[in-house]
Amino acid sequence: NAGVTQTPKFRVLKTGQSMTLLCAQDMNHEYMYWYRQDPGMGLRLIHYSVGEGTTAKGEVPDGYNVSRLKKQNFLLGLESAAPSQTSVYFCASSPHRDAQETQYFGPGTRLLVL
């Protein structure tokens, strides 16, 4: 099993450009999450999905959209990138909402918006 993979690993964008970050998991997990990590702020939840075809807003959803067309994939889109979206983005997945389960994280995508 590859676990959780993220594409790309690193990207540089100009302000106003768009891009899509791809997250894939091969563990048949129902739940998937997108976080951003900024210095001194820990990880903050952007959007999440509780199953194929569903999405929901997290703590910091503005400027991002997501889609979960297939159970194994969770896409994060930036329609018009801004410098404030420079960050490291982590995807995670979990099998179900039981409190004793944890989330499995991907290796991250580093995004720089100029």
Partner 1 sequence: GNSVTQMEGPVTLSEEAFLTINCTYTATGYPSLFWYVQYPGEGLQLLLKATKADDKGSNKGFEATYRKETTSFHLEKGSVQVSDSAVYFCALLINTGTASKLTFGTGTRLQVTL
Site residues for partner 1 per CB under 8 A: 4, 31, 33, 40-45, 48, 50, 56, 58, 90, 92, 94, 97-103, 105-108
Beta strand segments in the chain, E? 4-7, 10-13, 19-25, 31-37, 43-49, 56-57, 65-67, 73-78, 87-94, 104-105, 109-113
**Of the two residues 19 and 50, which places its CB atom closer to partner 1 in the complex?**
50
Tokens standing for residue 92: 């995670």
**Of the two residues 79 and 101, which places its CB atom closer to partner 1 in the complex?**
101
Residue 69 beta carbon to partner 1: minimum distance, rounded to whole angstroms: 19
**Of the two residues 23 and 81, which places its CB atom closer to partner 1 in the complex?**
23
